[in-house]
Amino acid sequence: MNRRNIKWLPILIAGIFFAYQYFSSEKFVNPETGRKSHVGLSTEQESALGLQSYQQVLAQAQAIEAGPESEMVKRVAARLASATGTAGRGFDWRESLIRDNQVNAFCLPGGKIVVYSGILPIAQGDAGLATVLGHEMAHATSRHGAQRVLQQNLAQTAMTGIAVSLSDMDYDKQRAVMGALGAGAQFGILMPFGRQHESEADRVGLIYMARAGYDPRESIRFWERMERSSSAQPPEFLSTHPAHGQRIQQLQGWMPEALEEYRKATQR
């Protein structure tokens, strides 16, 4: 085997392992959007990691366990959990309100929800809170975390194969090449993948809130309030989150479907 072939051998081996990782991974179909994907974790692994992270957050935070704000979080989360249907089946839904001025909320895999009190003034009530919680719960039911694990594993496999094939290159040149490839993977693959997840969570979350009996048009008003409260945003291509204007435009496009769900929910 000549030296040129030896240089390509690590890439070939990495390619075979890449294909094995992808095609042997679990397939998942989002029941709301029909989008097909592959995931890098089982539902049991997701739930275990989600519970571990949830316990770590609560151990370092001051939870608000009673009062009207806590009751609102519990009420909205319960209605949304019922609206997730088959996607949320098997989830152990729990919610906690944290005393913290951060404008933030998230839902961990398996259904562990954390709301920071700083987001409540922007939510301005149940429907506003349903907007953000529906979005975060949609990330969990859509298994976005498990999809990202597989995507990152695949990227790491590819980068490792290339790095080994370049091992006899001058160190500075090797760093430059790997840096360029890393940036290309980040901006060309991982970040667009993240934006796809954000848009899917917006769409599915909109359906959840409408199905739970919350007016989906409040989602537009919520994101408008978020836009007014936010500092300057990075350009959309540098962020995994869509710009507020782009997000609102997408929500308006999905609104007819959401309003039909809302009509059905309010006529029961």
Residue 207 tokens, joined: 């359906």
Q: Which three-class secondary structure string do you get for the chain?
A: CCHHHHHHHHHHHHHHHHHHHHHHCEEEECCCCCCEEEECCCHHHHHHHHHHHHHHHHHCCCEECCCHHHHHHHHHHHHHHHHCHHHHCCCCCEEEEECCCCCCEEEECCCEEEEEHHHHHHHCCHHHHHHHHHHHHHHHHCCHHHHHHHHHHHHHHHHHHHHHHCCCCCHHHHHHHHHHHHHHHHHHHHHHHHHHHHHHHHHHHHHHHHHCCCCCCHHHHHHHHHHHHCCCCCCHHHCCCCCHHHHHHHHHHHHHHHHHHHHHHHCC
**227 a catalytic residue:** no
C-alpha to C-alpha distance for 123 and 72, rounded to whole angstroms: 11
The single residue of 136, 198, 200, 261 carrying the catalytic annotation is: 136
C-alpha to C-alpha distance for 88 and 32, rounded to whole angstroms: 11
C-alpha to C-alpha distance for 93 and 129, rounded to whole angstroms: 16
Residue 33 tokens, joined: 């959007």
Point out the residues that are catalytic. Answer: 136
